Amino acid sequence: MASTLPPTKIVELRTSLDAEPVITPDEKVLWATVEIVYASANSNPSVLIQVPLPWSESDTHSERRSMALRFARQLIDHACAIVLGDEQFTTSSTDFEGLTQEHRLSAPTTNPPPAHAK
């Protein structure tokens, strides 16, 4: 089995926004869906990720799209950062705490970082 993907290129980048914001315990958020479609010699892989955007009536569609792409990248980077070896993933209830706080889905806490984050 190959350890890397064959050459690929992005052929489509789609961002869609829900029509209405939803209320969370701390604020309103607007859910966005980011889809990245690739072309490759043997397949057409894709990535689909949903991210919450802080709701602001004054944000333009372009600003929301840009924020959705940044947040999707942050989630993907976060997932890659927790990889410990070839195929081993470890998560705990605190792994996503900072991420939910960054996206204002939960209130900040003074909990110490998990032991494996040091």
Contact status, residue 100 vs residue 88, Cβ threshold 8 Å = no
pLDDT for residue 18 is more than 90: yes
pLDDT for residue 2 is more than 70: no
pTM above 0.85, yes or no: no
User: Rounded distance, CA 19 to CA 97, Å?
Assistant: 27
Domain interval for residue 109: 8-117
Number of domains in the chain: 1
pLDDT for residue 113 is more than 70: no
pLDDT for residue 21 is more than 90: yes
In a domain, 109, yes or no: yes
∠105-81-106 over CA atoms, to 5°?
10
Q: For 39-91, what is each residue's pLDDT tens digit? A: 988 788 899 999 999 999 999 999 999 999 999 999 888 887 776 444 444 44
Instruction: Single out the residue of 14, 18, 70, 64 nearest to residue 37, CA to CA.
Output: 14
Q: Which residues pair with 54 in a beta bridge?
A: 29
What pLDDT score does 19 carry?
92
In terms of C-beta density within 10 A (0-12 exposed, 13-18 middle, 19 or more buried), how is residue 85 classed?
exposed
In a domain, 1, yes or no: no
What pLDDT score does 85 carry?
45
Q: If you count them, how many residues does the chain have?
A: 118
In a domain, 2, yes or no: no
Average pLDDT, the chain: 78
